[in-house]
Amino acid sequence: MDTLQNEILRLKEEKNAVILGHNYQRKEVQEISDFLGDSYGLSVQASKTKARIIVFCGVDFMAESAKILNPEKIVLHPNLKSKCPMAGMVDVKGLRELKAEHPGAPVVSYVNTSADVKAESDICCTSANAVKIVQSLEDSKIIFVPDTNLGLYVQRFVKDKEIVFWPGYCPTHMGIKVADLETLREQHPAAEILVHPECTPEVIEMADFAYSTEGIIKHVTSSPKREFIIGTESNMLHRLRKEAPGKVFYDVPNATCPNMREITLENVRDSLVKTQHKIELPADLIRKARVPLERMLRAGR
């Protein structure tokens, strides 16, 4: 393993590459990443990097977003099997039909969408800034795609707008159940429960707090509490243990994203050796999809 890691680090220097890793990646992939973060944080890093090559260790829409923000750079996705099921739940044809049903309503597209869907959207958001972005819009009705659970979370804080939901969801976060959290709370009564806004409303209701993954990290590092039950993808615990080594974390059973776990160190090495799995998007699509992404970045967290 160490030899493979060293080979990746050497190749990265030789090729002027940067490795961006999502918080849900395998721990060994996290270890060789130059930057770790959530979708928003990695989008920021992608927009700022001076590297010639971006190796994006995350699911497909993340690598696409990096290419949209850096059309002049080479963006590599180490394993093309690493696709986001939620992003695959919304399509351009269906979105156009929904827009026709609600003329004039702006489309807020969760960053967990394809480049094609972003190009049909007015502004993107992440779980970290979804509430802020919806609140900032003057319109009384908005279309929110594709995650119904995140949209319902936003609706808790935005009472003056009608939100039209798309029926999408994250299979991993949908699998986090109230019963599992209740069992963990019985076993660890001193622990705070922190969950992701992609969880169901009933899970969010019983949790102490709901945050993006970076929000979870900020809360944990500043909280006087020592124990935490983490209701999101379990690879997140690896980063949490590094960021807050004196604290104790408990994961939820079966909270795993098999799609995120498709990427291995071998994949990262091979992508650098062969410059393979380049993200290629038409220039017109990049131009259109870049607008809502840049609006999201200007809005901040």
Bond prior to 146 in cis (omega within 30° of 0): yes
Name the percent of the chain lying above pLDDT 70: 100
Task: Tell me the average pLDDT across 250-269.
Answer: 96
Dihedral in degrees, nearest 10, Cα atoms 98, 100, 101, 104: 100
What CATH number should be reported for the domain whose range is 176-251? 3.40.50.10800
Is the pLDDT at 188 greater than 80? The verdict is yes
Nearest residue to 228 via CA among 181, 268, 274: 181
Task: Name the CATH superfamily, with its identifier, for domain 87-169+289-299.
Answer: NadA-like (3.40.50.10800)
> From its phi and psi, is residue 237 left (phi > 0), alpha (psi between -120 and 50) or beta?
alpha
Task: Tell me the average pLDDT across 158-179.
Answer: 97
Q: Where are the domains of the chain?
A: 2-83+260-280, 87-169+289-299, 176-251
Give residue 164's pLDDT band: very low, low, confident or very high (50, 70, 90).
very high
| Alpha carbons 278 and 73: distance in angstroms, whole number | 10
Let me know if the fold of 2-83+260-280 is the same as that of 87-169+289-299.
Answer: yes
Architecture of domain 2-83+260-280: 3-Layer(aba) Sandwich (3.40)
